[in-house]
Amino acid sequence: MANGILYLIPVPLSDDAAFQSFTAYLVETINSLDEYIVENEKTARKFLKLAGLKIPQSELKIHDYGKHARDKGNINDFLGGLKQGKNVGLMSEAGCPGVADPGASIVARAHQLGIKVVPLVGPSSILLALMASGFSGQKFAFHGYLPIDKIDRAKEIKDLEQQSAREKQTQIFIETPFRNNQLLADLLKICKPSSLLCVASNVTAADENIQSLTIGEWRKRSYDYHKKPTIFLLYA
């Protein structure tokens, strides 16, 4: 029996951006599937309803791939349907599966088993922020979270700034939303006044705010990104 196909299904980045996120092919695809691997079952079911799912949700088989399930289960348990020839959808909590997302391990295992992986078009806050920053899109790197330790973080910020200047590379990173203001304060303290910083907050939401300024200009401004999903981009 041939393996099924693993479809990587992006979901909206914010509650009020659902209909910006859907494509006709995405809607067609979810209506051809009745099995999903998801990071959060509640939000996954909400997304499927908004996207126009016609299959009764009671008929869906949904595997919860949240943190507790990942810690307890064997990754192969989530891929049983695929190995039996069923097509399955993979969804993250928000945005694109596998990008700064634990679903990457599902995708990696699928490749190991010879399962076809098909990514669908949808929103990535990382790429949308890069597009809107005005910084180099020819050469960039996403670093995820910077160190929490103050000394290690300061060293990492200096290293990223120097690498950006040396290689003309856009450096992209994120922080836990309740520590956004602390990270921004560190960037303004450590980086050179001439370096450019883009802060992209609540991307695709009604209150989306994306600003690219020099560090010197940022130092003259007030800001509050507390508890707002935010992408930081540094270009020296």
Q: Span 84-89, mean pLDDT? A: 96
Asked if residue 67 has pLDDT above 80, the reply is no
- Give this prediction's pTM: 0.90
Say what percent of the chain tops pLDDT 90. Answer: 82
Domain annotation for the chain: domains and CATH numbers: 5-119 (3.40.1010.10), 125-235 (3.30.950.10)
Asked if residue 16 has pLDDT above 90, the reply is no
Say what percent of the chain tops pLDDT 70. Answer: 97
pLDDT tens across 49-58, in order? 989 999 999 9
Q: Residue 15's pLDDT is what? A: 78
Mean pLDDT of the chain: 93
pLDDT tens across 101-137, in order? 889 999 999 999 999 999 999 999 999 999 999 999 9
pLDDT tens across 164-197, in order? 999 999 999 999 999 999 999 999 999 999 999 9
Q: Where are the beta strands (DSSP E) in the chain?
A: 5-8, 35-38, 61-64, 88-91, 116-119, 140-145, 170-174, 196-201, 209-214, 230-235
Q: Residue 179's pLDDT is what? A: 96
Q: Are 154 and 188 in contact (CB under 8 A)?
A: no
- In whole angstroms, what is the distance from residue 50 CA to residue 38 CA? 16
Q: Residue 73's pLDDT is what? A: 66
Q: Residue 17's pLDDT is what? A: 80
Q: Are 188 and 213 in contact (CB under 8 A)?
A: no
